[in-house]
Structure 1
Amino acid sequence: MSAPSAPAPFTVSLCMIVKNEERYLRGCLESARPFVDEIVIVDTGSTDTTVGIAQEFGAVIRTFPWNGNFSDARNESLRHATGDWILYLDADERLMNGDALRQLRPSAQTVAYNVSISSKHILPSGTVDQVNQYQRFFRRHPKIRFEGVVHEQVLPSLLRMNKRIEDSPLFIEHLGYGESLEKIQQKCERNAALLRRQLELNPHDYYAHYQLGNTLGVMLRYDEAEKHLRLAVEHDRNVSIRASACNILVETAMHRNDLESAERWCRQSVKLVPVQVMGHWFLSGILAHRQQYDEALRSIDTMRSNAGRPTGLAHDLQVPEGEINYRTIVCYEGLANAAMAASDLARAHLLVTSAEERGIRSPKLQTIGIQTAMALNDLDTALRRIDFMLRNLPPDAESQRARFRAVRSRIESMAVA
């Protein structure tokens, strides 16, 4: 076992459960090994080279007959760990900044850390980039155990200890949700069956209701998903789960073209957890669709300020910058068009300027900006906007290029006069 890269006042056991993970395991262990003192791997029945790969990394390997319960297997790994703290990963995950782990300095009251997990989900409805928060790094303690047949978690036992759960800069990349749609469907069917079994044992497990609703939503079974998600919103004690359930209910409402319900779920989500991206992104889209552009821009601004911050949401989004800019353009174009229709040239000019200050430009906005700048005798601004258009027009837009050049010549002649 290689020595940790930096001194720390605690030791760390990496705990994993695996089965036939030869495709992913080596990369996972390579990402974590420099930052942990011990690797404990529980194998639940591999028939490939998984165990041999684990042996190469000096792991403590234990076998555990699969019994259909992920928590039982996870807890078996905890039973063999000896470190002060536990880090748990799946084979298809990568610890991206292990140095940050060795720099943590937990207080005596700190029992666990939230860890951000990034994943790309290839779903029947499209590809989604998500970032989730889970307590992946926690103290080794006999009272801390996994719960749940599937989508197992330690959070309930952590909360019962009544100690601090802190945010951390730790970041994990999850690769497994990039599998084919067929494999994702198979995983969803398996998880749904396990979750139903769990709910038969405990109908009041509202986290299981949330996870079943989420799984059914991925499978596009929205009507069935909704009843489980509503139960989670009404009864789960974890505000993060309630807000996340609201966001999935937004999607079920949108599937029915029910914008009123979708907006209501959005607003409930961001009220429960203000620091998030998903709810504000959904809300901005609904408001833009309704031409409530000012409020939509405020939602986009809030979303931007939350991006990159530790989210208070169980499942959040990572929205590509291009998509954010496109929606922002739609809002500014809508506002500028309305100002022009009302002959409020000064407002239209200010809107284009505000968009430019954000780095937001489009042919329509720049055209309006040229018109208003000329009307307000701001010739330097008009010329600058014309130059931008000339630089960014497509090569085959010769007629538009000629018109802009003619306008520039007219402005330049006005300046000389």
Structure 2
Amino acid sequence: DKFDSKGSGAKGDKGRGKGARPATSWSGGPAKDGAPRGERIGRSERGSGGWGNEPANEIGARKEEPDAMPMVGAKTVQQIEAEMLIAKLSSKGEMSTDKANKTPLEAKGSHCEVKKHSEIGCAVVTMESESAREVVMKLAIHKRADREQDNEGKERRPTISIGDVQVQLRSHVDKANKVEIKTDIFVAWGRQAEKATPLSPGVIAAAFDDLFREARKEMAATFQDAVILPSNGAPSAPRYQQPLGSGPPPPPPASPAPQLIPMQQALLQQQMAQQPMQQVQQQQQQMQQQQQQQQQPQLQQQQQQPQLQQLNPQQLQQQQAAMFSLMQTAAASAAAAATGTPLTPQQLQQLQQLTPQQLQQFQIASQQRQQQQAQMALQANPQQAQQAAAVMAQAAQHA
């Protein structure tokens, strides 16, 4: 009894001690190794130390059981952070692409600059000057095949072809100020055409450069046809352009007349208006005859000089004697005509023996003498000069 009382008493229950108290149970969740904690009562699970009532083999077997599976669908902190980072990066990428779609694409040509809005099908072309923009717009209007009006009465906008795309042109207005920009052209071809065949800013710039060069050439040709500038820089009359197949070409333009003073031109016009063409021709003929008559004595002297040079001294003396006799005969005939007395038979015979050449020389000499006498008489007495001239004329006719 004593043993039993000790075994079941204070000494026997010494190992349990405080374990006789009501045991508290808890579940503290998974342990450090991830295994779930079971209900434990005091220090009864110590094992080979001999604290608990369970044998050691049962405790080892329970420790060797496989770990429980983790919760399905649970995510770690690293996974959540990775997903948040991916979402943030993707959102930034979408914003950058949207922003890139809205930013214009630019290109610069020789005579223009182009700013294109992608996926919208429009662009703004800035020409180098207002005049360049004007000639390009005029050429685009001229190139447009169909210039009819819409049903609403509005004229269609000018259209050009860039590759296979039809592009419309119109003036560009600033949205903020509502003011037209004189150097800009707004170009539009639509979203669908842009998706089918996108136009790059470089292609648009090259097309407008070519359009400007073509417009400049046509303008230069038109100006050259309108006004031809001679070497001195003064504008001349417009050049006549004959249509093809309309007949023979026109005669070349006449050479310009010599420039006259305005007063001289006015006088000539008055004279030409007052006098008919026949009178003008007659006057010209008379002037020519007078010039010929004045030149005849000089020609005769020139013809006689070589003949005189060829004569020997004896022939010269004979000719001088003949000329002296002619002078005497002429003087006698003139005196007879003045006094009214007839010539002697000897004088008449001398006059009849004169050759035609001698007669011509006699006439020339008499004319020169008449002129000299007339000049001398005019200086002395005009009335006597007139009488002497009449006498000399009668003598020449009689001769």
- TM-score, with length taken from structure 2: 0.19
- The structure whose Rg is larger is 2
Q: Greater relative contact order (Cα 8 A, min sep 6): structure 1 or 2? A: 1
- TM-score, with length taken from structure 1: 0.18
